[in-house]
Amino acid sequence: VKKSIFTFCCFILSFSGAQAIPVKKTNFAELFAHASSVVGAQVIEVDPSAKTARVYGYPADGLSVFEARLRIGAVYKGNPPASGISVCFLRVPADPGVFIDLKVGSAYLLFLQNAEPVSLLSDVQNGAFQVDPLALRETAAFPSNRIEALFQRSSTSPNIEVVVKALQALAFVGTSNSLPVVEGLVSSTNDEVRLAAATAAVRLGDWKRIEDIVTFWEGRSYGNDGYIGFPDHNLASTSWATVGEVSAKEASPVVSRMLHQAKSTRIKRTLIQTLLSINDPQGVSAVAPFIEDADSRVAYEAYVTVMKLRGRPCVTPELFERDKAAIKDEIRKGCPQVK
Amino acid sequence: VKHTYLCALVILLLPALARSQTREAPQGDGIRVEIVQPYNLWYFPTVLPAGYHVSDVARAYVEPPGLDKHGTFKWEVVGSKGFGALGLVPSGERGLVQTVTKTDDKYVNIYTKGYSDAEGDVTLRLTYTPPGASFPARMDEKTLTVRTVRLVIESDEQYIPGAGGSWECRRGMKATDQFGINAIPTAIDINEFFAGWKSLYSGENWQAPAPWPLADAIEWCDRVNPGASSTIPLPVHRSGSGDSTPVDEAQQTWRYGSMTVGSGDAFLDGEVNWRRNRGYAEHTN
């Protein structure tokens, strides 16, 4: 009875007014490290009552196609008042916050803990990633060097969701070979594809695409600092993190220029973070004026960046607020760099 | 006794003297002292998240080898924050102290009691007096930063279209150290707690806010959504008539170190307020 009440409570809570959603960034290196086998699987039947899905599996040798049952970790019903439809999800045990929509015909790349070809499909231990079914058949073998090809091919899928997933994957497993594929989608008319493509391009080394990402977010801003985003929070957060993590010195002039044009707090903060990642002392002159910014977060982060670029320690936000005038004065005079 | 110490010291110094013929000769008497303290230290008022250290054993490394078993080791916590963030654990006594002096014992237990206001504002100082009267005392200092956890609003409000064309809001949040810039090194359990929940619309039956815990968090987003399509009042389209009519609001406190709602230590800056209007939800601070 207790278990039923708990399950019911969990069900009710899932539709309540507030919740914390984990922001996970797919780490393929970690997935590979923990997976002894990586296979592809295409869903041919889903049975919610038995919590199973029948799949065609494409094992590592790429020659045989086998059929197996995939045990579904969790079955949830969709929001009845909203749609009345029943949806099955594959729950990834190692990443409990991730639920993957299991639809007949959809295909996945599965990272598995066991190496036995058929039985391994009974448990997806490490992760799963949606791919294009045709691409799966064409690139059935999955040594790690073929995965990039699979996602390249998936990026041409007619299913927008699969294309976005492929671009997100290429951002992490792609090499410069994937840049032409990614660049071709930066001008897509679909917002999610465009943002995912620009993000992947920056991650693969084309830092000029920072400008596309910033322009994209400026175009979707609302009011003072709100953004109209996507249900997949990862897409948005990865794009910001990607810009913030750019460390190529050549990007410094573009980032400085965009920083001075930026009106949004969010964009200012991210570009200041980028200049810190670039770690070029020349960035001090671009960032220092923002210590005077009306937004206290921008001002403090600009202060921290200036201090770190000068190799000096910084104080907590509370002390910065308290001693702001003196700190600004000290920075204006120019602090000697600590060796 | 003094002569015994001196003899022992001469014997101990012989290998160092021999090495000095092939290496750069140490200055003066060749005695050198250094503080060894391996862990980065954190301060948490009540919890102890896995992977973090709130205490450590510092030790003195003394050259030449063997000398560390003899002499007087005076440990002090100094610096602008100093004893406000770090204390020493005296042997056989309760409470933390600022100074500990030990004889023939190179170890000292250290324990955090607050957090740094600025990077490097805590200094652990060791004054080592070699045995016998012939050698002067020497000192080493190690600069430390005691860290704690702050909640940082990572991204401004992001709106997602929801029921009835209304917008739910999501705000990216991140756990950092107290300086608000450096991400925490190891994920921690977090939870949100609601207080001051207030109904602002007569007769409303929107689902009351339900607090959630989250395991192993470094970054997360806080999602607040308006009512569903069958609630009173009905959610309305963003920018539609009555979209900014408030329905309810709550204060939210974020805590870490526990998956039990309302337990654990509160983040610095962990107080967040939000309100749900008919057309959109929003964080209000």
Window 278-297 of A, Cβ < 8 Å to B: 297
What pLDDT score does A124 carry? Answer: 55
Instruction: Answer whether B210 sits within 8 Å of A313, measured CB to CB.
Output: no
* Cα B63 to Cα B130: distance, rounded to the nearest angstrom: 11
- Three-class secondary structure assignment of chain B: CHHHHHHHHHHHHHHHHHHCCCCCCCCCCCCEEEEECCCCEECCCCCCCCCCECEEEEEEEEECCCHHHCCEEEEEEECCCHHHCEEEECCCCCCCECEEEEECCCEEEEEECCCCCECCCEEEEEEEECCCCCCCCEEEEEEECCECEEEEECCCCEEEECHHHCEEEEEEEEEEECCCCCECCCCEEEEEEEEEEEECCCCCCCCCCCCCEEEEECEEEEEECCCCCCCCCCCCCCCCCCCCCEEEEEEEEEEECCCCCCCCEEEEEEEEEEEEECCEEEECC
> Which chain A residues are Cβ-neighbours of B170 within 8 angstroms?
21, 229, 233
What pLDDT score does A70 carry? Answer: 64
Q: Minimal Cα–Cα distance from B85 to chain A, Å?
A: 14
* Cα B86 to Cα B56: distance, rounded to the nearest angstrom: 11
Residue in A229, A265, A317 closest to B170 by CB: A229
Instruction: Answer whether A231 sits within 8 Å of B157, measured CB to CB.
Output: no
> Which chain B residues are Cβ-neighbours of A12 within 8 angstroms?
210
Q: To the nearest whole number, what is the mean pLDDT of chain A? A: 78
Report the pLDDT averaged over residues B150-156. 86
> Which chain B residues are Cβ-neighbours of A21 within 8 angstroms?
170, 220-223
- Going B79 to B84 to B86 to B87, the CA torsion angle's sign is positive
Residue in B159, B221, B248 closest to A226 by CB: B159
Instruction: Answer whether B223 sits within 8 Å of A79, measured CB to CB.
Output: no
Q: To the nearest whole number, what is the mean pLDDT of chain B? A: 87
The model's pLDDT over A48-64, given as tens digits with 9 standing for 90+, comes to 676 677 777 765 554 34
What pLDDT score does A119 carry? Answer: 44
Residue B16 pLDDT exceeds 50: no
Highest mean pLDDT among A97-101, A139-143, B99-103, B222-226: B99-103
The model's pLDDT over A98-117, given as tens digits with 9 standing for 90+, comes to 556 677 888 888 777 665 54
Highest mean pLDDT among A136-145, A217-226, A230-239, B43-52: B43-52
What percent of chain B is modeled with pLDDT above 90? 64
Query: Within 10 A of A180 (CB to CB), how many other CB atoms are there?
Result: 9
> Which chain A residues are Cβ-neighbours of B179 within 8 angstroms?
304, 314-317
Is the Cβ of A84 closer than 8 Å to some Cβ of chain B? no
Per the model's pLDDT, the better-predicted residue between B228 and A311 turns out to be A311
Return phi, psi of residue B54, to 5°. Answer: -105, -5
What pLDDT score does A142 carry? Answer: 55
User: At B285, is the pLDDT very low, low, confident or very high (cuts 50, 70, 90)?
Assistant: confident
The model's pLDDT over B205-234, given as tens digits with 9 standing for 90+, comes to 988 777 888 988 999 989 888 877 788 999
* Cα B224 to Cα B227: distance, rounded to the nearest angstrom: 10
Q: How far is CA B80 from CA A81, B75, B84, in A?
A: 60, 17, 9
Instruction: Answer whether A81 sits within 8 Å of B179, measured CB to CB.
Output: no
Instruction: Answer whether B219 sits within 8 Å of A17, measured CB to CB.
Output: no
Lowest mean pLDDT among A221-230, B10-19, B273-282: B10-19
Q: Is the peptide bond before A59 cis (omega within 30 degrees of 0)?
A: no
Question: Which residue, among B81, B179, B251, would best test binding to A if mutated, counting the most A CBs under 10 Å from its CB?
Answer: B179
Residue in B181, B206, B224 closest to A301 by CB: B181
Window 241-270 of A, Cβ < 8 Å to B: 264-266
Lowest mean pLDDT among A78-87, A174-183, B110-119, B144-153: A78-87
The model's pLDDT over A15-72, given as tens digits with 9 standing for 90+, comes to 455 778 777 667 777 777 777 777 777 888 877 676 677 777 765 554 345 566 666 6
Task: List beta partners, residue A67.
Answer: A56
What pLDDT score does B3 carry? Answer: 56
User: At B21, is the pLDDT very low, low, confident or very high (cuts 50, 70, 90)?
Assistant: very low
What percent of chain A is modeled with pLDDT above 90? 40
What pLDDT score does A90 carry? Answer: 57
Host H or E run for residue A257: helix A252-261
Report the pLDDT averaged over residues A82-89. 39
> Which chain B residues are Cβ-neighbours of A268 within 8 angstroms?
none
What pLDDT score does B158 carry? Answer: 86
- Cα B155 to its chain centre, rounded Å, is 22
> Which chain A residues are Cβ-neighbours of B216 within 8 angstroms?
22
Q: Minimal Cα–Cα distance from A267 to chain B, Å?
A: 9
Question: Which residue, among B146, B155, B274, would best test binding to A if mutated, counting the most A CBs under 10 Å from its CB?
Answer: B155
What percent of chain A is modeled with pLDDT above 70? 70
User: At B94, is the pLDDT very low, low, confident or very high (cuts 50, 70, 90)?
Assistant: confident
Residue in A17, A21, A237 closest to B206 by CB: A17
What pLDDT score does A72 carry? Answer: 61
What pLDDT score does A161 carry? Answer: 84
Instruction: Answer whether B207 sits within 8 Å of A317, measured CB to CB.
Output: no
The model's pLDDT over B167-187, given as tens digits with 9 standing for 90+, comes to 989 888 999 999 998 989 999
What pLDDT score does A156 carry? Answer: 94
What pLDDT score does A84 carry? Answer: 30
> Which chain A residues are Cβ-neighbours of B153 within 8 angstroms?
297
Residue B14 pLDDT exceeds 70: no
Question: Which residue, among A287, A312, A316, A322, would best test binding to B if mutated, counting the most B CBs under 10 Å from its CB?
Answer: A316
Chain A residue nearest residue B152, CA to CA: A297
Token pair recorded at residue A92: 């990834």
Residues in chain B: 285
Instruction: Answer whether B211 sits within 8 Å of A317, measured CB to CB.
Output: no
Q: What is the predicted ipTM?
A: 0.81
- Reduced to 3 states, what is the DSSP secondary structure of residue A308? helix
Residue A86 pLDDT exceeds 50: no
Per the model's pLDDT, the better-predicted residue between A232 and A126 turns out to be A232
> Which chain B residues are Cβ-neighbours of A16 within 8 angstroms?
207-210
| Amino acid making up residue B15 | P
Residue B102 pLDDT exceeds 70: yes
Q: Please calculate the CA angle B21-B27-B29 and round it to the nearest 5 degrees.
A: 85
Residue in B157, B214, B230 closest to A20 by CB: B214
